[in-house]
Amino acid sequence: MAIISSHILDSVHGCSASGIRVQCQKMVNRNGDQIVFEVEANEEGRIMEEVSLKIQKNNSTS
């Protein structure tokens, strides 16, 4: 498992940006993406999501 986190700031008002909707996508192939997670930033402008990592072996021949 891995954790993706972010702190979103409102640079216009100089404070944390709460309520911002964040969507993380994984590129599956050239035709589309897969949503990994979708979450809303808390009142401190922070998100933290645990995601599973799947390591794919490169099957190319050289």
| Domain 2-51 falls under CATH 3.40.190.10 | no
Residue 5 has pLDDT above 80, yes or no: yes
pLDDT 10s digits, 7-62: 999 999 999 999 999 999 998 888 889 999 999 999 999 999 999 987 767 665 55
Closest to 51 (Cα-Cα) out of 35, 37, 34, 33: 37
Segments making up each domain of the chain, as ranges: 2-51
Residue 57, pLDDT score:
72
Who contacts 44 (Cβ-Cβ below 8 Å, separation ≥6)? 7, 16, 18
What totals of helices (H) and strands (E) does the chain contain, helices first?
Answer: 0, 6
- pLDDT score at 53: 81
What's the predicted TM-score (pTM) here? Answer: 0.72
Among residues 59, 60, 2, the alpha carbon closest in space to that of 26 is found at 2
